[in-house]
Amino acid sequence: MTVCDLDHIVLLGDSITQGGWEPHGFGQRLAAVYARRLDVINRGLSGYNTRWIIPVFEQTKGNEGEHDHPKIRLLTIWFGANDAVFPQFVQHVPLDEYAANLRTLINMVRSPDSAWYEPHTKIVLITPPPVNVPQWSTRPDVEPGTPIDRDLAVTEKYAESVREVGKSEGVVVCDVFAPLWEAAGKKEEGLAKFMYDGLHLNADGYTIVYEALIKTIKDNMPELHYENLQPAFAPWDEVDPANLDKSLVKRKLF
Amino acid sequence: MTVCDLDHIVLLGDSITQGGWEPHGFGQRLAAVYARRLDVINRGLSGYNTRWIIPVFEQTKGNEGEHDHPKIRLLTIWFGANDAVFPQFVQHVPLDEYAANLRTLINMVRSPDSAWYEPHTKIVLITPPPVNVPQWSTRPDVEPGTPIDRDLAVTEKYAESVREVGKSEGVVVCDVFAPLWEAAGKKEEGLAKFMYDGLHLNADGYTIVYEALIKTIKDNMPELHYENLQPAFAPWDEVDPANLDKSLVKRKLF
């Protein structure tokens, strides 16, 4: 059990999702604004790609007989940063398999035949951010002589693939590549303002992601915007001491 | 469903718990260090007291037949900031009822007869922090002429009551009143460094709380310290591409 179940926002992804729990990360910000409404569950697995996340996801218990349990109301799927490493590196996933894996993840949730079918879940695909290779290659913990494992042009193809999958599958896309690239003045070195090592976002980078995601929610699934969800329990100044039990009844959010 | 259930840390409390989701808040920090190990669920309800949280908690679904579902491994209970307002204010809970309510909450989880019995849960009681009344009375959003609703000496009695309940019930206490008061140089105005309005903690205040809580865990329930919990899924550089499914099997943390 947990204390008074709320439904979930699940953040599925790699290190850039896992790092969303850092101060000013997109997970921390979502948790703060959705407090008392939805619980944010971070399933960011540093270093993972779309090939590895499928066997992970398959270990999720399905919904059968669980009508009473928390539902995923919003699922963000944010991969590509590792899939896009060059083919000689273990995390690499070819572009066509990457797109196929995203489709598999989508259909695990969306297909009525799936063991993980969840008709209440809205999905948002997020594009990988651009990378700043000069910054990434000179990060403090890199060994001298380490080969370069990724570049901007390849990562951009993975971002474009997310846009295409979203379009062909009818799934909402939150494009973070484009606004980060724009904010960087369309120059690789301009990305240094938004990343602490050329790959992972800092607070400024997560601000762009968070704002893009909230706008995506507002434009495409406004019923899930935090301003449109009442708190599950009454604000304290609406609690009636003369009718305590009644005024503290958990509210139905959906 | 959620994606691959993890067990929970549940933070039960008032606005000082709810605000734990802010950057550098104790919830944000716990979520970051427990990532891939335990999910942090914030049940901080701004303005609530121990009298109001009991009917809330009673709406929790019990564990019967749910052996397969997430367990609360750690439950923090952190009230008193509102209970300690003066008797003419609606949030006030008398000191003896406050202690009784804490005992009720403890026994809801700990008593085998309770519908919410959860033998896997370790409980930590947290003392309310000291208050800085001159700062609280002059916060920007306070109307001129608003009566003072709390003071340091009364809040200290509520903190002392938590220590007593912990001792008599055999429940671990994380004392945050004492180290905050110490850090403030034992002067009310010294608290301004740790609070943004005299009642609610800022990043420096939450640092003291977070460090006190982690030390409490380390000293009293070291099996729950994040360093003693392996991640539920393998670190990426331990994933074996030749044995993908096997190396991605979810690990048993307990």
Share of chain B above pLDDT 70, in %: 98
- From B111's Cα to the closest Cα of chain A, the distance in A is 15
User: Is residue A65 pLDDT above 60, yes or no?
Assistant: no
| Residue A63, pLDDT score | 67
> Amino acid identity, residue B3?
V
Q: Are B47 and B14 in contact (CB under 8 A)?
A: yes
| Residue B15, pLDDT score | 98
- From B3's Cα to the closest Cα of chain A, the distance in A is 5
For all residues of chain A together, what is the average pLDDT? 96
Band the pLDDT of B64: cuts 50, 70, 90: low
What's the pLDDT tens digit per position in A173-216? 999 999 999 999 999 999 999 999 999 999 999 999 999 999 99
What's the pLDDT tens digit per position in B203-217? 999 999 999 999 999
| Residue B2, pLDDT score | 86
- From B73's Cα to the closest Cα of chain A, the distance in A is 10
Which residues does chain B have within 8 Å of residue A56's beta carbon, measured at their own beta carbons?
3-4, 233, 248, 250
| Residue A2, pLDDT score | 86
> β-strands A72-78, B122-126: how paired?
unpaired
Fold for the domain defined by B8-247:
Rossmann fold (3.40.50)
Kindly state the tokens that stand for A194: 């938004």
What's the pLDDT tens digit per position in B109-166? 999 999 999 999 999 999 999 999 999 999 988 888 889 999 999 999 999 999 999 9
The domain limits of chain A are 8-247
Which residues does chain A have within 8 Å of residue B21's beta carbon, measured at their own beta carbons?
28, 31-32, 35
- Rounded to 5 degrees, φ, ψ at B122 are -95, 135
Provide the ipTM: 0.97
Minimum CA–CA partner of A76 in chain B: B3
Band the pLDDT of B63: cuts 50, 70, 90: low
> Considering CB atoms only, which of B31, B43, B248 is closest to A21?
B31
- Per-residue pLDDT averaged across A24-42, rounded? 98
| Residue A66, pLDDT score | 56
User: Is residue B65 pLDDT above 60, yes or no?
Assistant: no
User: Is residue A79 pLDDT above 90, yes or no?
Assistant: yes
Q: Which residue's structure tokens are 């990378």?
A: A131
| Residue B1, pLDDT score | 78
CB contact under 8 A, A48 and B236: yes
Per DSSP, the residues of A73-119 read EEEEEE--TTTTS-TTSTT---HHHHHHHHHHHHHHHH-TTSTT--T
- Distance, in Å, from the CA atom of B42 to the CA atom of B61, rounded to the nearest integer, reads 17
